Amino acid sequence: MLFETSYKELDSLCELVIDNKLNEAKNRAEKMLEEHISHKTSNEKLLLHIFTSALIARVDRKSIITKNIYLQKFDIPQIVLFYEMTKAYPQVKSSHFIANQYIEHAINKMLIFTLFDIGIGKGKQIESLINTIGEKNINIKQINIIGLDPDIDNIRFTEELFDKLKSEVYFDLNYYPICNLLENFSARDYNFVKEIAGENLIINAAYSLHHISHPINDTDYRTDIFCKLKSLHPRLFTLIEPNSNHDIELLSRRARNCWNHFSTVFTLIDQASIEGEHKFLIKDKFFGREIRDIFGASDYLRSERHEDLGSWMFRLIRAGFKPYQFHDVSVQLPSYCDFKVGEGLVRLGYKSIPLIAIFAYH
């Protein structure tokens, strides 16, 4: 474990909270806060500062978060920081590139296909896919895109994006935006997707399904949603998720998993050839918000509920999905990163620790 000494301090705070010794926990946590943090603050001190500030908010009952952090109003929107984060986290950009390769292979002999993108964001991954189809002059006559996102600003942005792309491509491009959450989908919504999709449906979910809320200790809710997605009969389902279990209610275990994951991510970010202030922005703002939600938010309302790759694979298999057979996957990563290509699964990591998983199932 990285920064084990500081982690042990954090673990002792968690035990105080679990034992309901809240005043003692708060007093100790306040003494552990840094007076000032900047790009010069070490990863160890910055992580401990973020974790302890989250714990203080939790103890003070100021941790009630009523919605997904991508829907909250920040000085810099979380979706904007997401794309900034990719400049220092090469596995993220690579994961989109890999998922798109699976999609390209699946549509190879299709003249018409529908892409249901769950959590379309600003549409960057799908824009890249469309550009690649154009550059390779793939024999496509029509693409239907169903873009699901809970943020109306993202919906408006992608509407303008695809309107612009329509005039630049040689095939028909139709866009059907849906401003909603997948967990709020009704039978009517699923039927809407099915009617548009026809026989050639591709489903893509990049960094979105860990936001699916569910009752505490309910281990089946997300699997039930996977079953509903399977009922749409997709030719391919690409799923991209971080590899760490934060969907766990016991505070000490969640803190351990969270610390292990983000200490590795912060160390990885330091390898990027960008300014120190930019790295600090990504660590403190983007990942700091995630950590505060995972660790400091109300257990009933937190939105960042990551799972490890084994858990996602188990859900896919239980829902009746099978690995998609395509092995000629190209992985583009800096030399300091590592990866492993398996059956329907690509692991992207750092120092032999898998940080991101890309699943391709059907």
Position 315 in a domain: yes
Q: Looking at residue 190, what is its pLDDT?
A: 97
Q: What is the pLDDT of residue 72?
A: 58
Q: Is residue 319 part of a domain?
A: yes
Beta-strand relationship, 142-149 and 172-179:
parallel
Asked if the model's pLDDT at residue 47 lies above 70, the reply is yes
Q: What is the pLDDT of residue 318?
A: 97
Tally of domains within the chain: 2
Please state the rounded mean pLDDT for residues 130-137: 94
Same domain assignment for residues 288 and 353: no
Q: Which residues form the domain of 75? A: 4-84+248-296
Task: Evaluate whether residue 193 is within a structural domain.
Answer: yes
Per-residue pLDDT at 102: 98
Is the distance from CB of 323 to CB of 286 less than 8 angstroms?
no
- Residue 62 pLDDT level (bands cut at 50, 70, 90): low
130 and 274 share one domain: no
Residues 175 and 323 in one domain: yes
Same domain, 62 and 103: no
CA torsion 288→292→295→301, rounded to 10°? -140
Same domain, 269 and 344: no
On whether both 215 and 276 belong to a single domain, the answer is no
Distance of alpha carbon 333 from its chain centroid, rounded?
A: 19
pLDDT above 90 (res 348): yes
Q: What is the pLDDT of residues 294-313, one digit of tens each?
A: 988 777 778 899 999 999 99
Q: Which of 173-182, 217-226, 249-258 has the highest mean pLDDT?
A: 173-182
pLDDT of residue 242: 97
Same-domain check for residues 95 and 77: no
221 and 196 fall within a common domain: yes
> What is the chain's mean pLDDT, rounded?
93
Q: What CATH number is attached to the domain comprising 236? A: 3.40.50.150
Query: With pLDDT > 70 as the criterion, what percentage of the chain qualifies?
Result: 96
Q: Do 223 and 135 belong to one domain?
A: yes
| Assigned domain for 303 exists | no
For 197-214, the pLDDT digits (tens) are 999 999 999 999 999 988
* Same domain flag for 176 and 112: yes
Q: Which H or E run includes 281?
A: helix 276-281
Residue 269: inside a domain: yes
Residues 77-115 have pLDDT tens digits of 777 888 889 899 999 999 999 999 999 999 999 999 999
More confident residue, 1 or 301: 1
pTM here is 0.94
pLDDT band, residue 63 (cuts 50/70/90) = very low
pLDDT at residue 64, as a whole number: 45
Residues 158 and 80 placed together within one structural domain of the fold: no
Both 214 and 313 in one domain: the answer is: yes
Residue 123 domain-assigned (yes or no) = yes
Query: Is residue 301 in a domain?
Result: no
In-domain check, residue 302: no
Task: Please give the radius of gyration of the chain, using alpha carbons only, rounded to the nearest integer.
Answer: 21
In this structure, what DSSP letter does residue 239 have?
E
